Structure 1
């Protein structure tokens, strides 16, 4: 009896297939569900006329990823350009030199990298919905955290949860708050006090969770969920060569490297929405008017889209290549090689986006929205907002785009909840639900892309993340329940 060992609990007792296979299986499930009578219907077209939906065919399983490429072309271009950009910077040795210097200076205090980076990412998430823009950070933060004695999962948690908790508890996110508010006919500032409190508490708790995991792994490396992959991860992300000298040229390159990301952040924050003016729109218009020989394609300062960000990183890669000039042929080879490193990530994004295409084309999303909206509105106010949160999670799985979600759902829901004083409360429930799906659902392209870059199997990631998922869900429910009891000026 003394030799009998207790069998360790495993969330996934079997090995999960690859990310792309999982996404294909989800697409196949959507197709099968579309064959069930009553699950499909017409859906709103871009011209204002409904388009016919209906059951999908078997070959749509392979057609969906192609449509996913077309739907996500801008983010895929962005990802490939980022790969080339990181390749150029890495080739210069500036990243290795900078990370080596950082780790040396933070000797014994590396843990404080976590709250500083996560706070910045969370601010980006809550203000402007920073999501896809975090993909390049994996290639920067993973080597730094490995060199500091942590594991790749620590880096993934920092980035995914850092930005993700900000998105889940959005305060000014124009892609979620502004869109839903416009559809509801209320000000985007309605309910911001309660959302701001939720963001502060959730971000603090999230940082504590990641620091707890990081400290555990640092003290006991064998407790890392990817301990057996440690050698592979170090070979992939840590240079085996001696840390290069931090020369003046590399300092300049690293400065430009950081400046590029700073410009990206500044150019995607909706300054005019925050200030309530047109100052930055006017500034952009004047620059285009008086300096037309540079470009007419760059959008308003504070309103850059993903394609404009791709331009920024492409241009920055050329500037850095000129500083570290190795020849035109070497630049092209390095850029292409860097892009190829993220081709798998691009494929994952495309297949994940194909799920959304399948759900939308079948008309399944409108059926779900109408069915849920008609059921929950007859309940007490507290139950409406809490059940609405979980109902929105279901809808968010079917409509992964927050702006698409708001446009499809709130014209139906807003008139119903207005009569009971839950207009802003349901918007809060909506952003929490859509943010939850982006954090934990396997159909979330950004999550799967991050795991693909970090070489972390999905099943192992869930083993780490499930306590946090339970905790943040419970916190969201409490915030919504308590908020529903407060005056409408707060919630």
Structure 2
């Protein structure tokens, strides 16, 4: 049901086109392609180097050390070995699986012979990155297939009609509820990549309520990212970073909890301001020029004669049940994308079987075609995720990431107090572009950065806060992260997203910087 546009051009409706400078930003694929080229050139100009990496083998209960030259040695799995290596982390953190990835060993950085990538690495990285992301891609394909099947049954349309009647005049309540859910999910379990599952549910509803694609991305991606930025007990961010820093994740938790409340209020308030603006004047929308394509992709052409009968109600119950099951699986059972995909596929099969019966039954071919068409509609989104990973693999193979980290430690050495922690936050801001994985950056940087806190007389948990607020301020923007896949899913231009999100980036850096300075002044010595 389209409530904002009627498919006419500006000239047909008498509306004057917006004046002013307009920047034609390339598509997500082109942006990532050029970033891949830049990553290749970086391997030619940034000196190669690497830290020794320490990994724990549960079977042998021993540590393996991989030198920068690739030589592997073994040391006993105990606290004494860690102390000798200068790794200030409790042995139990490795033994119980809290730290599962190889970590950098402080003081072991060595310059290596340059390993520049050739031009042939550009297509290779694009292919290899896509292969590495196959688990996420399968999850997205299954999700798309499920959506296609539910749409074919008419359940979305009839349910949407019933919902819009009940929420008339209180449309923002749903934006508020979705945002709050994503903030809580972000701060507790880092609900981000899994959030792509919510767009097919919320986009048609937001369209019917008169909102644009910005509201959809804001209530899901931005709200979830704000929650993750202000993580309290997120195991993929603050917990693993604290473990790698050699401290308990509960240290500094009240500061992070307060920041989460403030961040939640700011992002929901920002969405409320924007929602009021576009409800009063749809042309205020930052994505107004793309409203037709967005509504064509996600809008529901509801008809009054589509009955919301018992079968369609059961189908929607099954469909919506998949999402709390997914969240429960991630938080309580440690599910990853294969198990999440399997759970959605189970629900899809149940809906397909149910749709074979009744007066409005569908044929087996109709259902299979609906699944195939739904999955194919999300191919571009899946490929974007793979292309972004290819960029990171080029930097890793060129030994660029560790060199940037080593340079950062030299930059802050000798500083003290507030200046040190502010510079540290901006270092993590830059590193967030190079290493967009929160857990990846934690194990790469924390064993190196956390001891610097000791030298300037501040608690290590403040470094963890700087890591969170710095890295995640970048992840609102970084094409190497989840942003491009999100924008591709909604066919949104990167320039439109930047126009909307930059105030939130400024807020995180300013508010985070203020909190860090306050922590340093209170707890420093």
TM-score (norm 1): 0.87
* 1:11-56 C-alpha deviation (Å, 9 max, x unpaired): xx431111011011111111112111x5322465676413476211
| CA root-mean-square deviation | 1.9
CA distance in 2, matches of 1:241, 1:23: 37
Runs of 4+ with >4 A deviation: 7-10, 43-47
1:431 aligns with 2:468: yes
Other-structure match for 2:61: none
**Cα distance, 1:163 vs. partner?**
0.4
Q: In 2 relative to 1, CA 96–181 (structure 1 residues): closer, same or farther, beyond 3 Å?
A: same
Q: Is the 8 A contact 1:41 1:54 kept in 2?
A: no
- Give 1:448 shift: 1.2
2:327 is aligned to 265
State the distance in 2 between where 1:157 and 1:341 align: 22
- Alignment match of 2:154 (pick from 87, 93, 114): 93
Question: Alpha carbons of 1:225 and 1:197: their partners in 2 closer, same or farther (altered >3 Å)?
Answer: same
In structure 2, the CA distance between the partners of 1:354 and 1:483, relative to structure 1 (3 Å rule), is: same
Aligned to 1:277: none
1:205 is matched with 266
Q: What's the secondary structure of 1:266's corresponding residue?
A: helix
Measured against aligned partners, the alpha-carbon deviations of 1:175-234 in whole angstroms (never above 9, x if no partner) come to 111211111111111110000100110111001101111110111011112222222222
The aligned runs of 1:13-92 (5 Å cut-off) are: 13-36=22-45, 38-42=46-50, 48-49=65-66, 50=68, 51=70, 54-92=115-153
Partner of 1:118: 179
Could you tell me how far apart the structure 2 residues matched to 1:438 and 1:89 are?
A: 33
* Counterpart-to-counterpart distance in 1, 2:314 and 2:184: 27
Compared with structure 1, are the counterparts of its residues 302 and 382 closer, same or farther at alpha carbon in structure 2 (3 Å cutoff)?
farther
Q: Distance in 2 between the 1:307 and 1:317 partners?
A: 15
**Out of 318, 340, 343, which is 1:309 matched to?**
340
User: Could you give the per-residue CA deviations for residues 343-393 of structure 1, whole angstroms, max 9, x where no partner exists?
Assistant: 000111111111111111111000011110122142122222211111011
Task: Please tell me whether residue 256 in structure 1 is matched to residue 318 in structure 2.
Answer: yes
- Is residue 2:426 matched to residue 1:398? no
Aligned pairs for 1:379-458 (under 5 A) are: 379-419=415-455, 420-444=457-481, 446-458=482-494
Q: Which range moved further: 16-25 or 375-384?
A: 375-384
Contact 2:469 2:508 in 1 (8 A): no
Identify the range of structure 1 (137-146 vs 229-238) with the bigger mean alpha-carbon deviation. 229-238
CA distance in 1 between partners of 2:340 and 2:464 (Å): 29
Query: Matched residues in 1 for 2:508 and 2:247: separation?
Result: 27
Task: Note the alpha carbon deviations across 1:47-88, whole angstroms, 9 max, x for none.
Answer: 641347621111111111112113222111111111111112
Asked if the contact 1:169–1:435 (Cα under 8 Å) also holds between the matched residues in 2, the reply is: no
- Give the number of aligned pairs: 447
Structure 1 spans left out of the alignment, 5+ residues: 1-6, 270-300
| 1:118-147 C-alpha deviation (Å, 9 max, x unpaired) | 010011111111111000211111111110
- Confirm or deny that 1:182 pairs with 2:191: no
Larger radius of gyration: 2
Is the alpha carbon distance of 1:92 and 1:372 closer, same or farther for their aligned partners in structure 2, counting shifts above 3 Å? same
3-state SS in 2 of match to 1:17: coil
Q: Which residue of 1 aligns with 2:393?
A: 357
**In 2, are the aligned partners of 1:72 and 1:350 still within 8 Å (CA)?**
yes
Q: 430-439 vs 154-163, which deviates more?
A: 430-439
Match in the other structure for 1:233: 294
Alignment-derived partner of residue 231 in structure 2: 170
Report SS of the residue matched to 2:347. helix
Q: Are the counterparts in 2 of residues 83 and 341 from structure 1 also a CA contact under 8 Å?
A: yes
Contact 1:377 1:417 in 2 (8 A): no
Aligned to 1:103: 164
| Structure 1 residues 44 and 115: CA distance shift in structure 2, 3 A | farther
Q: Helix, strand or coil: the match of 1:486? A: helix
Instruction: Point out which structure has higher relative CO (alpha carbons under 8 A, 6+ apart).
Output: 1
3-state DSSP of counterpart to 2:521: coil
Instruction: Measure the CA separation in 1 of the matches of 2:23 and 2:320.
Output: 42
Whole-angstrom distance in 1 between the partners of 2:39 and 2:324: 40
Are 2:374 and 1:338 equivalent residues in the alignment?
Answer: yes
Verify the 8 A CA contact 1:134 1:159 in the aligned structure 2. Answer: yes
- Report the alpha carbon displacement of residue 9 of structure 1 after superposing the two structures with TM: 6.2
Distance 2:160 2:344 in 1: 21
Q: What secondary structure is seen at the aligned counterpart in 1 of 2:476? A: helix
| Contact kept? 1:43, 1:360, Cα under 8 Å | no
